[in-house]
Every structure is written in structure tokens, then in C-alpha cells.
Chains A and B, each alone.
Chain A
Amino acid sequence: MAGTDPRARAERRSAGELESEVLAALWATDRPLTPAEIQAEIDGPLAYNTVHTILKRLYDKGLVLRDADGRRGAYRPAKNAAELTAEAMHEALDRGPDPIAALQQFVTGLRPEEEKALRDLLAGGAG
């Protein structure tokens, strides 16, 4: 079955989805990343050329900066819009449970005994 082949799954990702994944990888770390480093930070095999194409698109949109921190060929995310969004998000969250609590947040809070069980799960897993 094609669906069980991880390579086939990686290939199936659309350009928009890959853009999100590259941007997410750049935001996950504090240091600028080269395309090769980004390649390693993306789940599933992804051609070097594809990474390049996606980076160019993100650069054209003003979402990433090139040659960051004096490192030639390295990229890091542009912060301006993200900082404004963070401000607006905190403001909305601080206003109380009304607006954002109505959203489906990825995860909600834990009880202490749940916390221990989850730590055990992560320690026991292969990851």
C-alpha cells in the first residue's frame, strides 16, 4: 500500500504544507540554519532542491532573512509580524477565558499524576 511508505507520504505534501514545515523548523531553533541543516530538521526525506525552492518562496514573502548573523547561506525567520502577533495573542489570552479559550487548543493543562505518566511515555518511547 502506497500510504505506508514514508517516502511516498513525504512526497505527497503540498508546497504550502512544506512551506509551513520549513518555517516551523526555522522557528524551532535560535540559530540560523543552512538548507542542509533544514533538510535534517524536516520529518521525512525532502530533496535539497525542494528546500531551496521553498526557502526562496519564504524569502520573497518576507518571512525569512538570508545570510543571517553573518553566516552565508543561512536563514532565520523574520520576527516583526510574529512579535506583533504574539502581543495580540497575549492580549487576547489575558482578557480572560472568553475569546481564545473557545478555540481548540492543541493541548490543555495536566494533573500532577498525568504529568508523570506522560514523562514515562516519552522516556519509554524510541523518540
Chain B
Amino acid sequence: MRFDVYTPLPLSVLLALISPAIGSRVAPALAARVLTAAAVVTAAATCWSLFLLAATLVGDAPPIVAEARQDGHRLAEPVPEVIGIAAGVALAVLLVSVQGAVRADRRTRRALRRLCEGHPADTELIVAASPEPQAFAIPGTPGRILVTAGMLSALQPAERRVLLAHERAHLAHRHALLVTATTLAAAANPLLRPVRGTVAFLVERWADERAADAVGDRATTARALARAALSAEHPRPACALGFTDRAVTRRIAALQTTPPPHLWPLAAAVLALGALPVLGAADATDDLFRMLAGVLV
């Protein structure tokens, strides 16, 4: 309880630090999956650890202290009271943050459903009659692809095929689910925010690789990205999120080399790193139960 309850915190920082390196060295499909799994598990372990720390306050509650004294028990003090209180406050803040993320996700889904209105149910492509170049996948059953007329007219025939294959890959591999999972993990544990960014980048890389496979040409795929990016001369502030991270340039550079290998050992190491906080939290749970059992029984 003294140390293991804190393990999820340094391990979250470590996961956040190594995630960009994993993202650039391991095949995007594998890297995105293991990073998401590790982030979700680490976030859950972090919240559980905070709960355990807050639960130690039970040992400080006056009736329990009085009762323990009566019974002649000596109270173990594994966690200073101030840390227990801080953990309780942090847990409350994080729960509100997760709730906010869930609500934002629902809002997005609602907004997306509205975009599909008036289009036949059995059509994959939804075109928006707008000159602004935009393209994104709308998850659902079935998933849809939304592209603006502005984006379509900016691209050559082979590049349009790349775009459609890219968005199709997002839908086929349920990328929205991975991004939502890491978004919730980052809301529950803000130390994991860089992992969310890496996974968001990796699903784009993953879809690029699938598109290159479908069209059979990495150079055409790279050109499609370049042309689409250049056609968006005045990006919206909403795009500012990706504005400084050179995401498109990095994706194009990745398409100009051979696809990264699967590197299973590195992926296994990430999963192991994700499992460590759980072990720490489980051990701490055991300690807490023993402590409370000593006090309450």
C-alpha cells in the first residue's frame, strides 16, 4: 500500500513518453491497438488507485477510530490523511471530466446522424454540396463517408479513390472506437493525453496504409494527401488541433518509405507496461482490505 498504490502515476507518464516512439516504429494497426489497450487499462488502474487512497480516509473516520481504540486495535497509517483527501478530490474531478467526455461524444454522434438525413440508407458516400474541402468517416451501422464537393473537385480520379479507401478503412477497422476509448482514458487520467494524440495520428496512418494497399500505389496515396491538404487554404480553427504537429507531412513521409514492421516484442512490451499499473493497484487493494479488516473486525 505504501508504494504500489502510486505505481499507476509514474507508469502513465512512462506510457505517454514512449507512445510517440512506438507510433513511429511499429506498424500503425498494431501500435494503435496496443497503445489503446494500455491507455484504457492504465486509466482504470489510476482511478482505482485514487479510490483506494481516498478509501484509507475511512480508517480516519472518528467512529471507527474510537471503535478501534475500544477494541485495543492499533490503527495502521499507511497513507497520510492529506493524500487521502487529495486523492478523493482528484477522483471527483476526473469523474466529472469523464462524464464531460462521454457527453461530448454523444453530441458528436447526434451531429453526425443529422448529416446523414435525407440520404438513402444503402448508400456509402454522402456528398455535402460545399466548396470547403472536408472529408470524414461517420461511424455507425452501416458507416458512411462524408465528402464535400470541394474536396472531390480538388482531387484526380486515382486520388478520389485513395480518399474513399482511406475513409472506408476508418469504418472497417472501427477507428472511432479506438479514438473514443483513448479520449475517455485521457479524460480519466490527463497524464495519458499524449497517448490519445498518438492513437489519433496512428489511425490516420493505418487508414493511409490500407488505402495504399487498395489502390496499389503509395506514391498516389501520398499525392492525394498533399493535394487534399493544399486545397484547404484556410483551415478552420477546429483544425488548429492538428495545425502544429505536421501530421500530414509526417503521414506523407511515412508513405514515401516502406511500411513499418509489426515488431511484436515492442508491442508486447507496451501491453506489459499497461498491465503493471493493474498489478500495483491490485496489490494495493489487497493491502487496503487487510488494513480495513484489521480496523473494522
Q: Which residues of B contact A80 (CB under 8 A)?
A: 118
Enumerate chain B interface residues (CB-CB to A < 8 A). Answer: 104-105, 107-108, 111-112, 114-120, 122-130, 132, 134-137, 145-149, 151-153, 155-161, 163-164, 166-168, 170, 175-176, 179, 183, 200, 203-204, 207, 213-216, 219-220, 222-223, 225-230, 232, 235-244, 246-249, 252
Q: Which residue of B125, B159, B214 is within 8 Å of A9 (Cβ)?
A: B214
Q: Which residue of B148, B238, B246 is within 8 Å of A101 (Cβ)?
A: B238
Enumerate chain A interface residues (CB-CB to B < 8 A). Answer: 3-4, 6, 9, 16-17, 19-21, 23-25, 27-30, 41-44, 61-63, 77, 79-86, 88-90, 92-93, 96-111, 114-115, 117-119, 121-122, 125-127
Most chain-A CB neighbours within 10 Å: which of B129, B146, B220?
Answer: B129
Q: List 28 A-B contacts (CB under 8 A).
A: A4-B216, A6-B216, A9-B216, A24-B127, A28-B160, A80-B118, A82-B129, A85-B115, A85-B129, A86-B148, A88-B115, A88-B117, A89-B115, A89-B148, A90-B132, A92-B111, A99-B107, A102-B183, A104-B136, A104-B203, A105-B242, A106-B135, A107-B225, A108-B242, A110-B235, A121-B223, A121-B226, A127-B156
Please, how many angstroms separate the alpha-carbon atoms of A118 and B225 in the complex?
9
Closest A residue to B161 using CB positions: A43
Please, how many angstroms separate the alpha-carbon atoms of A98 and B249 in the complex?
25
Query: A103: shortest Cβ distance to chain B, in Å?
Result: 4
Q: Which residues of A contact B152 (CB under 8 A)?
A: 24, 27-28
B124 near A114: Cβ-Cβ < 8 Å:
no
